Amino acid sequence: MADRDTATGVLGLVQAFVNTVDLQDGPEELAHPNALETWLVAHELMQAGQPVSEADLKHAIAVREAIRAVIGANTGGRVYPLDVATLNEAATASRLRARFSADGKARLEPEAGGVAGAMGRVVAAVFSAMADEGWSRLKLCSSPTCRWVFYDGSRNHSSRWCTMATCGNRQKARRFRERARSIA
């Protein structure tokens, strides 16, 4: 991944969470509850030593894929009622509240601990990211088998693939094959 494809701040956190799996070639970073714990602790979304169950892992992956769908909407993708329900449930379960800190700035913080709280922080990051002017530049790769999240740093917001070197060329090759078939 080139630097231009990687977002920073809350956008970067959202991008990193959704990209914990490479749908096309693997690996799945969140393959085990322990791996989920490690990821959440490393990104300061949860304190270490809290229990993480298989159900938590399933829930986290559902939240991740709902966020992928919401990012897909930036390029005309469909958001299904299940995606919306998953995100709303994660927000409710974490008991997100508006909190003002000492510097007078407000943010959303979960009252719940554990993975529920961590998912609340992820949803809060999506909430903040959507208010960021860079949100519309967060896109899914146009390759239907890839759907990797990339940050479109191009001047006219016209990038469609995560990296031209791989997915862009793959798409071109497919179109070429299809054209060749239709001519034959």
| Interface residue list for Zn ion (CB under 5 A) | 141, 143, 146, 148, 162, 167
Q: Which is nearer to Zn ion, 69 or 91 (CB)?
A: 69
Side-chain-facing half-sphere of 154: CA atoms under 13 Å: 12
Q: Shortest approach of Zn ion to residue 142 CB, angstroms? A: 8
- Residue 126 backbone phi and psi in degrees, to 5: -65, -45
Q: Which is nearer to Zn ion, 125 or 162 (CB)?
A: 162
Q: Which is nearer to Zn ion, 14 or 162 (CB)?
A: 162
Q: Shortest approach of Zn ion to residue 170 CB, angstroms? A: 8
Q: Shortest approach of Zn ion to residue 179 CB, angstroms? A: 21
Q: Shortest approach of Zn ion to residue 96 CB, angstroms? A: 32
**Cβ atoms 65, 21 nearer than 8 A:** no
Element (H, E) at 108: strand 106-110
Q: Which is nearer to Zn ion, 57 or 167 (CB)?
A: 167
Q: Which is nearer to Zn ion, 8 or 169 (CB)?
A: 169
Q: Shortest approach of Zn ion to residue 165 CB, angstroms? A: 10
**Cβ atoms 93, 120 nearer than 8 A:** yes
- Work out the burial of residue 71: count CB atoms within 10 Å of its CB; fewer than 13 is exposed, 13-18 middle, 19 or more buried: buried
Residues whose CB falls within 8 Å of the CB of residue 77, separated by 6 or more in sequence, listed in order: 69, 71, 140
